[in-house]
Structure 1
Amino acid sequence: MKKSTLALMVLGFLASSTSSQAAEIYNKDGNKLNVYGKVKAMHYLSDDNSKDGDQTYVRFGFKGETQINDQLTGYGQWEAEFSGNKDESSSTTKTRYAFAGLKYANVGSFDYGRSLGALYDVEAWTDMFPEFGGDSSAKTDNFMTKRASGLATLRSTDFFGAIDGLNMTLQYQGKNEGRDVSKQNGDGFGSALTYDFGGSDFQLGGAYTTSDRTDAQQATTRGNGDRADAWATGVKYDANNLYVASMYSETRNMTPISGGFANKTQNFEAVIQYQFDFGLRPSLGYVQQKGKDIENIGDADLVKYIDVGATYYFNKNMSAFVDYKINQLDDNNPLGIKNDDIVALGMVYQF
């Protein structure tokens, strides 16, 4: 069946990052500057009063590059998020990305700043739910599992031009102290490999990180080892309007819990979505994180839910969504983690 114009636009959008949909505002003498952003007008429905209510926010950023010579390009990116659900005297702003780097031809790139950790090269494949998802081992400012500070990252496409479809990430993270214990980290290293078999619709990936833990982290009641380690492996298929992905990972002395950190976690995520030609994209997913050998507890689920949702794309800039998080945690779980269901309703405008 011939795809409609809308379906082609939507599929192109889903295959691209937010910044690649940016509006070009300057392009002269080898210098380019794009701006991008989105408004997510969203409301949560839940018996958990801390989650129920308005969740609206705005994100805005720029992505620029400069042509230094025939082979070398400089680039930078910054993105911030602004709360839209608070009164004006208590509105908050946070920096999501802020990095700069150099890219040499089609060989690879190197950048430094606040960006994405190496483990997220694989974890991102299942972080596709309309609102929820991607929250087992991937946590912001938790070593190199998601967005984090002080990252020096070397990325190579097609393994320095030698093997089509084999992409590599090598990463170093500098020490970050003087913040909440759960957000600290010592010096660490990470790596990731993804391979699409030379351009196929099927992709495999694996990632590993290891870091020193700070003195404050080692002094916590739970999870007091001197190193934090994680590994992840994943698979995805993205073709014929169908998206299917799954991810399994494990962490050691890394995942924050009440009283410190889990000695070990086992994490599984899966998602399946289908893009209809008329704009509808239903989504079904599952996320589970099990803590192992927790002091005075033993094994316990930390995250466990089924996710049912759908997004309708009016065009590449405007969409509406609903996402239902069906919590599967026990009512009397030993760590006192809230287990209320949440329904998210919203509309998104982005450019």
Structure 2
Amino acid sequence: MKRNLLAIAIPALLVAGAANASIEIWNKDGNKLDLYGRVYALNYLGDKGNTIDGEGDKTTARIGFSGETQVTDMLSGYGRFEWETHTGTDAENETRYAFAGLNFGEYGSIDYGRNDGVLKSLTAYTDVLPEWGGNASNNNFYLLSARTDGVATYRNSGLYGLVDGFDFAVQYADSKEIDPSITSPSVAQTLGKKEAYGMTAQYAILDTGLSVGAGYATSTKAGDDERAKSWMAGVKYDAYDLYLAALYSHTSYGVSKVKGVELVAQYGIDFEIGRLTPSLAYIQHKLNDAIVTNGGVSSLASDYVAKYVEVGLQYDFNKNLTALVDYKINLLDDDKGFGYSKADTKDTVALGLIYQF
């Protein structure tokens, strides 16, 4: 989620930052510190046997801070930490972000730590739905497409002051989290890579509201193993309360491939109090020629790992409070390919209320 719920806004060129409703707790002598967080009360209404989406309570809470310190007119330092916990007896905890870096103004910024994979700036084009979406942000399918530890990232906005609206980034990662497996309920094909490199370029075309972007990532080669390669291309339009976006993604490893298409349309309607945003989306990601081993015999199989239509509503009372309902119309077939259960192919409705600061 979720373009309007937790907008990213660290100083200058940084991809990851504090929420747009953050609290400034210190700003003195060139040092600034913001605190932010949210509570997301969420429930999935669906089949209890659904192993893909699950069912019932999905409530989470986050807390984080971002800071900046001015060293000279041309140099500043920055850092960010964010932590999330889930509710329930088997609750999971996660450090979502933990990185620090240097910002050299128009010469760009460089940081290291746990941060977004470089391709996540492109998956963000379509990862704007109230709850669903974000399927391309998955390191199991696409290299450097989700949060990853051990990443060093260089970013530049405006091509060193030469081209307004042109941004690029390059990244190196050495992490078990970019050792992805092309997976399904009954298929696992390990890409077997710890190291990866990636880059993206994006261009906001003048004041038209139209932006285009593309990116590429590849793993290093170890011995006779083949490289895994991922690339993405996206386009978005954001103007006059209308948001349209499309993303194509592709990964290859040996004979196996994952291909994805995501299409999103949203329209914002302002009221005297608050803003209503209906959304409509189509999401599909298909695994082709995956190696399946059954009884010691290997064969190739192909099927969708995600395929659905989304219809959702999001109501922002103000920048701190949001209500949402998101309906996932599942198009997976339970009698083909990787053997999804009937529960896994049924529809799911998400109901949520978010308080953030």
**How does the TM-score come out when normalised to structure 1?**
0.85
Q: Please tell me whether residue 209 in structure 1 is matched to residue 217 in structure 2.
A: yes
**Residue 214 of structure 1, CA deviation:** 6.8
Aligned match of 2:129: 129
Structure 1 match to 2:111: 111
Name whichever structure is richer in strand by fraction: 2
Aligned residue runs from structure 1 range 190-339, under 5 A: 190-212=198-220, 225-253=225-253, 263-278=256-271, 279-295=275-291, 296-337=299-340, 338-339=344-345
**More displaced stretch, 138-147 vs 225-234:** 138-147
Counterpart Cα distance in 1 of 2:93 and 2:326: 25
Q: Which residue of 2 aligns with 1:139?
A: 138
In structure 2, the partner of 1:345 is 351
Q: TM-score, normalised by structure 2?
A: 0.84
Distance apart, 1:121 and its partner CA: 1.6
Opposite residue 70 of structure 1, the aligned amino acid is D
8 A Cα contact 1:177 1:185, kept in partner = no
Task: Report if aligned partners of 2:5, 2:322 keep a CA contact under 8 Å in 1.
Answer: no
Match of 1:34 in 2: 34
Which amino acid in 1 is paired with 2:206? G
Which one has the bigger helix percentage? 1
Closer, same or farther: CA 242–16 of 1 in aligned 2, 3 Å: farther
Amino acid at match of 2:213: G
For residues 283 and 197 of structure 1, the distance between their equivalents in structure 2, rounded to whole angstroms, comes to 24
d(CA) in 2 for partners of 1:119 and 1:178? 12
Structure 2 residue aligned with 1:257: none
The CA distance in 1 between the partners of 2:32 and 2:94, in whole Å, is 25
Distance 1:15 1:98 in 2: 17
Shift in alpha-carbon separation, 1:91–1:97, aligned structure 2, 3 A:
same
Counterpart position of 2:187: none
For the structure 1 residues 196 and 14, does the alpha-carbon distance in structure 2 shift closer, same or farther, using more than 3 Å as the test?
farther
Moved more, 13-22 or 273-282: 13-22
User: 1:266 Cα shift?
Assistant: 1.1
Offset of residue 103 of structure 1? 0.3
Query: What count of residue pairs does the alignment treat as equivalent?
Result: 322
Distance (Å, rounded) in 2 between the aligned partners of 1:76 and 1:101: 6
5+ unaligned residues in a row in structure 2: which ranges? 10-17, 182-189, 292-298
8 Å CA contact retained: 1:208, 1:230: yes
The RMSD of aligned alpha carbons is 2.5
Structure 1, unaligned runs of 5 or more? 1-10, 219-224, 254-260
Corresponding residue number in structure 2 for 1:258:
none
